[in-house]
Amino acid sequence: MPDDILYSIRNLTVEYKTRAGAVRAVDDVSLDIRRGEILGLVGESGCGKSTLGKALMRLHTGPASITAGELWFDGRDLVQLSENEMPDIRGAEIGMVFQDPMTSLNPVQRILDHITETIKTHEPQIELEKSDARARARAEELVERLGIRPERLSDYPHQMSGGMRQRVMISLALALRAKLVIADEPTTSLDVIVEAKFLDLLKELQQEFGLTILLITHNIGVVAEVADRVAVMYAAKMAEVGDVNDVFADPKHPYTQGLLKSVPNIRLNEGELYKMGGAPPNLLHPPVGCRFAPRCPHVKDICTKVDPAFEPVEKDHLASCWLYQEAPVNRS
Amino acid sequence: MAQPQLKNDSPSPANKNADDLVQVKNLRKHFPVQSGFIAEMLNRGQIPAVKAVDGVSFSIRRGEVFGLAGESGSGKSTVGRLVLGLLEPTDGQMIFDGNDLGSLKPEEMRRLRSRMQVIFQDPLASLNPRMSIGEAILHPVKIHITNDPREGREVVYQILKKVGLAPPEQYYDKFPHQISGGQRQRIVIARALVTTPDLVVADEPIAMADVSVRSLLLDLMMRLKNELNLTYLFITHDLATAKYICDRIAIMYLGRLCEIGPLADVYEHSGHPYTRALLEAVPVPDPRHRRKEPMPAGEIPSAINPPSGCRFHPRCPIAQANCAVDEPELRELRPGHQIACHYAEQFLE
């Protein structure tokens, strides 16, 4: 694995067992997360982006399981680790920020205790007598950096605003110097002004701490604002990955093209939004060939027969679309 | 389409030719905060209240899409409920087509209801999970249009076709969980429009839908508006979407309006520092775009004890000493465009 890649997802498949049959929520997905980047992962509800995010920490439970693929994180394949080894990765090396901080924080625990508990759990080598004071000092320093007055550490989660709670979630990841933060819709429950400030903070943390962030969101505008690269998912597959400027200026996959055109842009004066026809397929019975073919304006014969490979179409820009690939010769 | 006539004649408007369908006059809604018995004694009966709406006036013209935008806690949804008569105002008047809702008898109010409908954000929460789609739409039909089952069914079929769910027979007996989120919102729209209302209050109607579904729903709402001569009160936090459908827009902050006017004029010549910050904060789907102005400090304060003077002054980048004392009134500084800021002129050169 090249040194600049922190997390390499190789041909990952995650399946949900349902009464109607197995659903592949993530289907043969490969993606690299580079050190120090903010990678935006976008797609619509049900495309598998959150399942992918959870699988990166092996947080999926119940009916979901990884049925194929490798998860190379910083030199180790997490798929091969035992369940006992995972807690050292979760929280300590990979932090997570969810959409709704109120359900991620313990309502009867003060903010300070959230942070010190995290530090003490993962760093048991600190002597017990000293640990409280040291953990507290670190917590104070941390939240202050994130723009929360240290006095607020004795607050309970409900006493804080949504934006503050989301900053507390980030502080939990930073407390242990996590290498990767997976943020799943972190600003979706925030108002625009608070969202703008939170995004500014993410950028600063990326630069200051060299933090790597996987930003999962449905909000294309948020990705344009902070991400360095963007990955687009459609119906459990990776549709396109590339530098954010390249993908926005010259999207390759017809799904990305339609998606970008249907996003309202407050700075433009176009009269109407683009309307993409159809709906994503039912993943219990995905269509044969390219999954976007039934909705695609450029559909060709091959598209409904063979699934395109996820391949480079330009330097550092991958897409899975037959528009850019040679059709196989008479493969039956 | 042979639509059966409304069963009851709605109360006749006093001024049928007036341009305004809705007039809201100095509306206030204070929600008392529950406090203990002793606290009440200490306060000598002065019960603290959340001043959700605190003196709001505007009117909605017939046939326009009027946007009401603001952050959570600004009071925009409370205004929507007051306009519909779902909440009793603490003070002020709500006049619908010449009828003062406060002075109507319950029976008159009931008849007026068929002329104002609502669409909420979450279609799953708005639909009874144990009622089929057909029954859900038939419900208002039975109350306001016809009791005849055959006629009723026909009315439901017609509206299902109108919202793009064809053939309607296929959808009539389905339940909300059997269809997609976008289709559910179409059902909610169908149910709201089946009584051919004059006013539709749409409270974040597309906030839960995916990007590609959003543009379809917006398109549907606009098409139906033209077809059925509707007037929309469009409540939203999303200024980018508002741009595509609103004729006029009002910006709300902590229970008050800070700016109101034709949409293009408000966006291009915004005079209130809060409006300017909101517009600046909207994420732009273009990686080359960078925000220029800093975001206001802090977050929206409590509506129990709103700041004195201008409610935005503690966060305002251009606040002067008098802003903490004098509450600014809306002033018309451009044609049809009013701004509640003492120093708005500096942005309007």
- A197 with B71: Cβ contact below 8 A: no
What's the pTM value of the predicted model, to 2 decimals? 0.89
Asked if B223 contacts B196 with a C-beta cutoff of 8 angstroms, the reply is no
pLDDT digits (tens, 9 = 90+) for B101-120: 999 999 999 889 889 999 99
Rounded to 5 degrees, what angle do the CA atoms B220, B224, B228 make?
175
Task: Give the position of tokens 């943390």.
Answer: A205
The DSSP symbol for A199 reads H
Instruction: Specify the pLDDT at position B10.
Output: 45
d(CA B332, CA B326): 18
Complex ipTM value: 0.86
**CATH match of B20-123+199-208+225-347 with 3.40.50.12280:** no
Interface of A with B in 240-279 (CB under 8 A): 244-245, 248, 258-260, 262-267, 272-276, 279
Q: How confident is the model at residue A193 (pLDDT cuts 50, 70, 90)?
A: very high
Residue B50's SS3 state is: strand
Beta-carbon contacts of residue A76 (< 8 Å; ≥ 6 apart): none
Q: How far apart are the first and last CA of chain B?
A: 52
d(CA B291, CA A150): 29
Asked if B176 contacts B124 with a C-beta cutoff of 8 angstroms, the reply is yes
pLDDT of residue A39 exceeding 90: yes
Contacts of B291 in chain A (CB under 8 A): 196
Residue of B nearest to A194 (CA): B299
Q: How confident is the model at residue A127 (pLDDT cuts 50, 70, 90)?
A: low
Residue of A nearest to B238 (CA): A192
Instruction: Specify the pLDDT at position B210.
Output: 87
A33: which strand partners? Answer: A7
Rounded to 5 degrees, what angle do the CA atoms A166, A25, A311 make?
100
Mean of all residue pLDDT scores within chain A: 90
pLDDT of residue B257 exceeding 80: yes
Contacts of A245 in chain B (CB under 8 A): 287-288
Contacts of B219 in chain A (CB under 8 A): 272-273, 275
Chain B nearest CA to A300, separation (Å): 23
Which CA distances in Å does B45 have to B54, B150, B303?
Answer: 21, 57, 20
CA max distance for chain A = 73
d(CA A13, CA A1): 20
Burial of A82 (0-12, 13-18, 19+ CB in 10 A): exposed
> Could you give phi then psi for residue A113, rounded to 5 degrees?
-65, -35
Mean pLDDT lowest for which of A129-138, A296-305, B242-251?
Answer: A129-138
Chain A nearest CA to B297, separation (Å): 9
Chain A nearest CA to B197, separation (Å): 26
Residue type, A156: Y
- B299 with A263: Cβ contact below 8 A: no
- Give the number of beta-carbon pairs within 8 Å between A and B: 114
Q: Of A193, A258, A260, which has the smallest distance from its Cβ to B296's Cβ?
A: A193
Instruction: Specify the pLDDT at position B340.
Output: 97
A94 closest CA partner among A176, A31, A34, A179: A179
d(CA A219, CA B281): 14
Interface of A with B in 57-116 (CB under 8 A): none
Asked if B20 contacts B61 with a C-beta cutoff of 8 angstroms, the reply is yes
pLDDT of residue B17 exceeding 50: no
- B219 with A274: Cβ contact below 8 A: no
Contacts of B239 in chain A (CB under 8 A): 192, 266
Instruction: Specify the pLDDT at position A30.
Output: 97
pLDDT digits (tens, 9 = 90+) for A171-190: 888 888 889 999 999 998 88
Q: Of A192, A195, A224, which has the smallest distance from its Cβ to B286's Cβ?
A: A224
Chain A nearest CA to B238, separation (Å): 8
A148 closest CA partner among A100, A96, A117, A112: A112
pLDDT of residue B308 exceeding 50: yes
